[in-house]
Structure 1
Amino acid sequence: MTLDRIDFELVQLLRKNARLPNKELAERAGIAPSTALERVRRLRQSGVLLGYHAEIAPIAIGIGLQAMVSVRLARHSRELLDSFHAHLQQLPEVLAFYHVAGADDFLVHVGVRDSAHLRDFALASFTERHEVAHIETKLIFEFRRNVELPTGPLDAPGLA
C-alpha cells in the first residue's frame, strides 16, 4: 500500500494517541470524519496499522526492575532459532525482544520484581538453556517511547 500525506498524518496522530475519537482525528488531519474512518479502516486492513496498545506503569503491575538481556546463541540453525523464539514468547517476564545482527543474536527486554527475581529468571530462562552460549544483562533506569515517526511522508519509501 502506498501512503499519501493524509495517510501519514493519520498514522502520526494515532501513534501519539491511539484513543483519539474519529471526529477529532479527522479535524486534526483536515478531512471529513467519514474519510478518516474509511482511511483508518484501510490502513488496518492493509497491515499498516498493526494494533493499538496501552502503555502501563510497570510498578502498577509489580515490575520494579527492567533490564535488557543480550543473548548469544551457541550455534545458528533455523530449528534453534525457532525454538528460542517460541521460548521467549511464552515467558511472562519478557516485555519485548529483538532478533538482531552483530555479536549477539537477541536483545530481550524483561520486567521483573527485583534483582533476585532477575537473577533467578536469567538462570532459569537463559543460562540453563542448551541453545544459549552467553548472556549479558544491562539494567534499565528509564524507558521512554518516542511517539514521533522517524521519517516524513515524502522521505519514506512507499509514500506518495
Structure 2
Amino acid sequence: MRAFFIGKFLDGFIGTQKVRELTQLFEPVVESMGYELVGVEFQGAGGHGTLRVYIDRDSGVSLDDCAAISHQLSGILDVEEPIKQAYDLEISSPGIDRPLFKLADFERFAGRVAKIKLAVGQLGRKNFKGELQGVADSKWVKIEVDGEQFDLPYADIAKANLVGDI
C-alpha cells in the first residue's frame, strides 16, 4: 500500500524542463529531512493538473511523512510560484509499482521486472516488459524481454516502473 497526501493549489502548464527545475528545487529540502526524492511528475491539462512528488526512505513512508514534506514543499511553491495553472500537490511513497526516474534507478533495480514505455519507438515497438539488466555507457537501459536483450536509449524513455511482486 502506498502512502500519499494531497494538497490543493492554484497556479501554468509545465513541461519536462520545469519538472527538472522542480526536482532540483525540491531535492535538497527532501534530503535534508531524511528522505530520498524518488522523482517528480506533472500530469494534467485543461487548466488543472497534479504535481506528484515521490519520496522514500529505508524505514518506509507514512502519511505523517507525506504531510511533513507537503508542508515544506508548499512553502517553496508559494514563494517561487513555478506553476501558473491550478494543480494539486500530491506527496506519495513510490509503492509496489515504483516509478523509475533516474538512470541510477535502472542500475539499482537490475534483476527486477519493469515496464518501460518509449517516447520514440525502437524496432517497431514502444512498450517493453521484462527483467532489467542494468545500464550501459551511462545512456542505455538494458532489459531482457522473453529471452531477447534490448538496449533502450535512456533519453527516449517516457515512463518506466517496476512491476510489483504480490
TM-score tier after normalising by the smaller chain length:
0.3 to 0.5
Bigger proportion of residues as strand: 2
Bigger proportion of residues as helix: 1
TM-score normalised per structure 1: 0.37
TM-score normalised per structure 2: 0.36
